[in-house]
């Protein structure tokens, strides 16, 4: 457990020393307790210099998605203002479901450094090793009809693609429905889950898995041909904290826009980033494989596939081979 108040006081000193006596007074605990808290910060990855008579000085914060770091410089009103962090958890998605059921507000994020049972679309697993990625689940409570929920996945994909392109300089494409590609490989997956009644959405959990700083060796061999990271595509590493902040800011702005203005502008933005439009693709669906030219998406979020006979088939659930 890190003492967030202590971190905030050390940060407020902007690299200057704060005496143990003052920290003791500010936190209302003994100087021995301060020393103990400083040790805990070091365990958590903070570099803190301690100098007799001068006190303590924060040299560097770790690039870990602790709420106190995520929220330091986060320019959102709701998204991420409540955040819970786990060094390791089975699945941030499951934890977010539990909290949403229990009444968690819109904007809560659940983040973990490692997921031991990370989940992807269609019941698949998601590889979530430590110290390298952003594994994050966001609670939404959109007042939209159930048939519109798949649009949220596409809105999120567009929003994240724009943010990642802006933060990294990479060309980021979208493969239907919501895989983000950079350097020809999948770097980000989005899992949208929901609980609803037929005429009311109770909540949506937007799960985001972003590979940030992995090297090729960090991926299991069977994933290497298709999976990559931002670092692999860009040839440099990125701050996970800064990326998560920009992602949440972009998502909040785009989500609010979507609720106010509807799907049309996002449909255009989505189609502009889509890597498959106009191309021949194979859609592998539960009901069989369909071959055709990807022509766009419709208001259900379905992919419009032009088949050999010219007919447009709506694809709701599939894996796409490009």
Cα(79)–Cα(139) distance, integer angstroms: 9
**Options 15, 117, 147, 278; binder of its own copies; rule CB under 8 A:** 147
**115 annotated to bind ligand:** yes
Query: 284 CB contacts (<8 Å, ≥6 apart)?
Result: 318, 319, 320, 321
Report whether 121 belongs to an annotated binding site.
yes
First to last CA, the chain: 46
Of residues 23 and 152, the one with the C-beta less far from its own copies: 152
Which residue from 196, 272, 291, 322 is in contact with its own copies, where contact means CB under 8 A? 196
- The burial of 187, by beta-carbon neighbours within 10 Å (0-12 exposed, 13-18 middle, 19 or more buried), is given as buried
The piece of 5-13, 49-57, 149-157, 164-172 that touches its own copies (CB under 8 A) is 149-157
* Burial grade of 26 (CB within 10 A; 0-12, 13-18, 19 or more): middle
Instruction: State which of positions 125-144 bind its own copies (CB under 8 A).
Output: 143
Closest CB to its own copies among residues 38, 140: 140
Is residue 203 within 8 A of residue 195, CB to CB? The reply is: yes
* The only residue of 149, 251, 281, 320 in contact with its own copies, by rule CB under 8 A: 149
16 is in an annotated binding site: no
Pairing of strands 185-197, 303-306: unpaired
292 binds its own copies (CB under 8 A): no
73 marked among binding-site residues: no
Whole-angstrom distance, CA of residue 243 vs CA of residue 265: 24
| Length of the chain, in residues | 322
Contact between 194 and its own copies per CB under 8 A: yes
* Residue (123 or 220) nearer to its own copies, CB: 123
* Closer Cβ to its own copies, 178 or 214, answer by number: 178
**Three-state SS across 148-207?**
HHHHHHHHHHHHHHHHHHHHHCCCCEEECCCEEEECCEEEEEEEEEEEEECCEEEEEEEE
Binding pattern for the stretch 97-126 against its own copies, x by CB under 8 A and - elsewhere: ------------------------xxx---
Stretch that binds its own copies, among 32-40, 74-82, 145-153, 276-284 (CB under 8 A): 145-153
Token duo for residue 194: 């929901």
User: What is the per-residue binding string for its own copies in 75-94, x denoting contact by CB under 8 A?
Assistant: --------------------
| Nearest to its own copies of 143, 217 (CB atom) | 143
Task: Candidates 55, 177, 209, 292: give the one binding its own copies (CB under 8 A).
Answer: 177
Element (H, E) at 97: helix 92-101
Q: Least separation, in Å, of the C-beta of 298 and its own copies?
A: 10
Q: Which of 68, 134, 152, 247 binds its own copies (CB under 8 A)?
A: 152
Alpha-carbon distance of 269 to 154, in angstroms, equals 10
Nearby residues of 217 by Cβ (< 8 Å), 6 or more positions away: none
Q: Which residue in this structure is represented by tokens 């300089």?
A: 169
**Which residues inside 16-35 make contact with its own copies, applying CB under 8 A?**
none
Q: Which is nearer to its own copies, 193 or 254 (CB)?
A: 193
Residue 105 DSSP one-character state: P
Q: Binding site residues, as ranges?
A: 115, 119-121, 186
Residues comprising the binding site for biotin?
115, 119-121, 186
Which stretches of the chain bind its own copies, using CB under 8 A? 121-123, 143, 145-150, 152-153, 177-178, 191-200, 286-287, 300-302, 316-318
């Amino acid at each position: 457990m890190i003492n967030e108040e202590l971190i905030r006081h050390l940060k407020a000193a902007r690299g200057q020393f704060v005496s143990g006596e003052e920290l003791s007074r500010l936190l209302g605990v003994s100087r021995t307790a301060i020393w103990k808290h400083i040790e805990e910060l070091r365990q958590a990855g903070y570099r803190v210099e301690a100098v007799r008579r001068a006190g303590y000085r924060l040299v560097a914060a770790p690039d870990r998605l602790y709420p106190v770091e995520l929220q330091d410089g986060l320019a959102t009103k709701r998204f991420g203002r409540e955040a819970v962090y786990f060094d390791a958890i089975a699945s941030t998605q499951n934890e977010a479901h539990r909290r949403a059921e229990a009444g968690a507000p819109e904007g809560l994020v659940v983040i973990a450094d490692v997921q031991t049972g990370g989940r992807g679309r269609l019941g698949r697993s998601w590889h979530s090793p430590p110290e390298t990625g952003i594994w994050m689940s966001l609670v939404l409570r959109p007042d939209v009809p159930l048939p519109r929920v798949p649009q949220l996945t596409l809105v999120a994909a567009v929003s994240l693609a724009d943010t990642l392109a802006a933060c990294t300089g990479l060309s980021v494409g979208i493969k239907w429905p919501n895989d983000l590609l950079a350097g020809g490989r999948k770097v980000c997956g989005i899992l949208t889950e929901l609980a609803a009644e037929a005429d009311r959405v109770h909540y949506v959990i937007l799960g985001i898995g972003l590979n940030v700083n992995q090297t090729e060796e960090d991926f299991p061999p069977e994933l290497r041909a298709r999976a990559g990271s931002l670092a692999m595509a860009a040839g440099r590493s990125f701050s996970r904290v800064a990326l998560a902040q920009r992602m949440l800011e972009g998502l909040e702005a785009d989500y609010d826009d979507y609720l106010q203005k509807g799907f049309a502008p996002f449909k255009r933005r989505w189609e502009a980033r889509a890597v498959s439009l106009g191309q021949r693709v194979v859609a592998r669906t539960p009901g069989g494989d369909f071959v055709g030219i990807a022509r766009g998406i419709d208001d259900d979020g379905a992919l419009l596939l032009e088949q050999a006979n010219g007919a447009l088939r709506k694809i709701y659930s599939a894996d796409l081979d490009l």
